[in-house]
Amino acid sequence: MRALRLLAVSTALLACCAGIARADVATIADDGSQPWDGGAAVTTPIEALAGQIASGIAGRPVSVRCESDSDWAALTEPSFLGFVSFLGDRPGDFAELSPAVCSSLESFALAPAKPTKCARVVRVAKTRVRVVRKRRVRVTTYVAVAQPAGPCFGGGRLLSSERTFGDTYFSTAEALQTLAHESIHLKGDAVEAEAECYGMQAVASVAQQLGDTADDGRAIAQYYATLLYPQRETQSPAYWSPECRPGGALDLTPNDGLWP
């Protein structure tokens, strides 16, 4: 099996960034269907959008298939998140994604305000003049003012301690990474460590194409790189590489100062 040249992968990832969303928007309409409804005969909205994203990364027309629990169990291990079949060193034309991954992608795409954002409140000083014993006195008070929601990962940690939020954030990041990872396989790279690293560097773009803002997409990618990717070294060594780091051999843009 062959690995792709670094330049070829980098070009594909940069190309897939064109035309991405610049504000939180829903990128598919809720038609009441499940991601896997209709089987192979019907392409659901999230399958169509995921296929477009995967095609941009793969550099060729490909598709994404979502499977129900029962169909997924018949295809592979229930714990698997996704796969692409190879014939020799040639990948198939579609990726299979698990029910959990497709559900998370669909929820993210449907949301006009992404579930990875945190509400922000700032204290604003307000000064007014009061008359106290015939004297004018300036009195300053502080009021809480709600700000637009923003990224909820910064400084190497989640900014919310709510467990439900943390679970949603984790499943969303995992789903975005899975779509990006399998898209790298569809390009022709069968090496798991490379697909994981190159895919991680496309997570921010994938999030934006699903309707997220650029700052939040990058925050999700940094969450994955900071908290989840290091676990691969001990839990799934085939998916980890010491060169998957800023300035490493698998860094697609080593001179831009951004990671991933």
Question: Strand runs (DSSP E) across the chain, as ranges?
Answer: 63-66, 82-83, 86-87, 90-91, 94-97, 117-132, 135-151, 153-154, 157-158
- pLDDT recorded at residue 59: 98
In the chain, where are the structural domains located? 6-115+163-239, 117-151
CA–CA dist 152, 157 (Å, integer): 8
- pLDDT recorded at residue 122: 60
List pLDDT tens digits, range 73-114. Answer: 999 999 999 999 999 999 999 999 999 999 999 999 999 999
> Residues 142, 212: contact at Cβ < 8 Å?
no
The one-letter amino acid code at 195 reads A
Residues with Cβ within 8 Å of 163's Cβ and at least 6 positions away in sequence, in order, are: none
Angle between helices 45-58 and 99-110 (to 10 degrees): 100
Structure tokens at 103: 């559900």
- pLDDT recorded at residue 40: 81
Q: What are phi and psi of 182, to 5 degrees?
A: -70, -30
Helix then strand count (H, E) for the chain reads 9, 9
- pLDDT recorded at residue 12: 43
Low-confidence residues in the chain, pLDDT < 50: 1-21
Single pTM value for the model: 0.84
| Count of residues in the chain | 260
List pLDDT tens digits, range 183-202. Answer: 999 999 999 999 999 999 99
- Residues 172, 101, 243, 237: is their CA dihedral positive or negative? positive
